[in-house]
Structure 1
Amino acid sequence: MHAADQQFFARLASLNDSFARGLPSTLDRLAALGAELDPNAPAPAAGELAAMLHTVAGSALTFGYRGLGQHARALEQRLRVLMTFDAVAASDWSTWLAELARFVEHARLDPHALS
């Protein structure tokens, strides 16, 4: 293996470790934002949630957390749909928030086991 390849894979492994170490705090922040989301005025928390889910989805897929990434992407996409409408029923927000809570709970238990 060439030195450049070794450096690349060492850097990738370091980034993977960094992602794994930061995941608990990321999940905590997602849970906190979900708790802050007011179905009657979701904009502030929803925007940050969408951005975080987008980042988690991309990073998770990059670092081998395929199921985690796919779930984060699906949550992000559903959230963006909810955000496009002027009026969304509180029950639709509640359903999405329950999905987010399940995602966070399962990801805390074993982020590699999500499928």
Structure 2
Amino acid sequence: MVRSVDADFFVRLTEANEGFRNGLPATLRRLGQAGADFDPAAPAPQRAAELQSLLHTLAGAAVTFGFRELGQGARALEQRLRVLTAFEIVGENDWQAWLSQLDEFVRNGMTSPAPPYHSAAFSLLP
């Protein structure tokens, strides 16, 4: 039996979604650890770049796999981080405020239930 291209696509998409869901706790822990390693009194550019990369990747993947609120939160944190890193001097209080938002984001991400994933679109699957 020959399967249609669309059915194969949805099978691969479902598998990718499951991989994202299963890997999300580790991704959030990694993001939280990167935030914990960030020193607001002496911010290292490479740490800020690591956080920016993690947030950027998470934002895109989360939206792709149906985690809209998680993706929007990651994008907002990424954009604020870009603003902070655009300045030569940023106060420690500003960094602390951003890190607090990051901590809250990670905590909420770890406790929020996974959203249903496009169930109507998968009606093509056998």
Counterpart-to-counterpart distance in 2, 1:78 and 1:42: 17
Name the count of aligned residue pairs.
112
The two structures, once aligned, show a CA RMSD in angstroms of 1.2
Which among 85, 91, 94 is matched to residue 92 of structure 1? 94
Larger Rg: 2
CA distance in 2, matches of 1:109, 1:51: 23
Unaligned runs of at least 5 residues, structure 2: 116-126
Shift of 1:38: 1.1
- Map 1:69-80 onto structure 2 (within 5 A): 69-80=71-82
The corresponding residue for 1:54 is: 56
Identity, % of aligned pairs?
49
Measured after TM superposition, the shift of residue 99 of structure 1 is: 0.2
Counterpart CA distance in 1 for 2:95 and 2:111 is 24
TM-score (norm 2): 0.85
TM, length-normalised to structure 1: 0.93
The one-character-per-residue Cα deviations of 1:7-45 (angstroms, maximum 9, x if unpaired) are 000000000000011111100111100011012123121
Unpaired runs of 5+ residues, structure 1, are none
How far apart, CA to CA, are the structure 2 residues paired with 1:59 and 1:111? 17
